[in-house]
Structure 1
């Protein structure tokens, strides 16, 4: 939890950590995938900041980035095994 709070605080989404944790638990993602995803969300927010309903924007983008994070981590694991 401490590591997650650090990353969410540094990206400016610390207020959305409880919602992000609930979403990640429901979808079966690990804390490492959550960290990668919130960093990706922060990158997207720099280019396309939410204009209305920040919480809904975050939930949509976070769900998308969780999938990307899992795909990248699986690809890295596969390369290590080869």
Structure 2
């Protein structure tokens, strides 16, 4: 049986668990879904491997997370448009 992984799991595995409250607040204010948040945190982790934050980690995270949330929404909408009869 498929078990959905929680946001806590994704944030902990990417090393940004301490910023989960900030991410939840941002997502709530901007009306993003948990699926979009999961996609975004994975993208943030990829960017952090390439360009790690050197100063003010929470501010870096907030800027990058917002950017990646918007990218995640665009990708999910494009995928739903391409496959309109699949349920994601």
TM-score (normalised: structure 1):
0.96
Specify the alignment match of 1:50 in structure 2.
Answer: 53
In structure 2, C-alpha distance between the alignment counterparts of 1:30 and 1:81, rounded to whole Å: 19
Q: Which runs of 5+ in 1 are unaligned?
A: none
Offset at residue 21 of structure 1 (A): 0.1
**SS of the counterpart of 1:77?**
helix
In structure 2, C-alpha distance between the alignment counterparts of 1:81 and 1:33, rounded to whole Å: 18
In structure 2, C-alpha distance between the alignment counterparts of 1:16 and 1:56, rounded to whole Å: 10
Specify the alignment match of 1:32 in structure 2.
Answer: 35
Specify the alignment match of 1:70 in structure 2.
Answer: 73
Runs of 4+ that moved beyond 3 A: none
Give CA deviations for 1:40-63 in whole Å, capped at 9, x if unaligned: 000000000000000000000000
Q: Which has the larger radius of gyration?
A: 2
Q: Whose helix fraction is larger, Structure 1's or Structure 2's?
A: 1
Selected match of 1:17 from 3, 20, 24: 20
Offset at residue 81 of structure 1 (A): 2.0
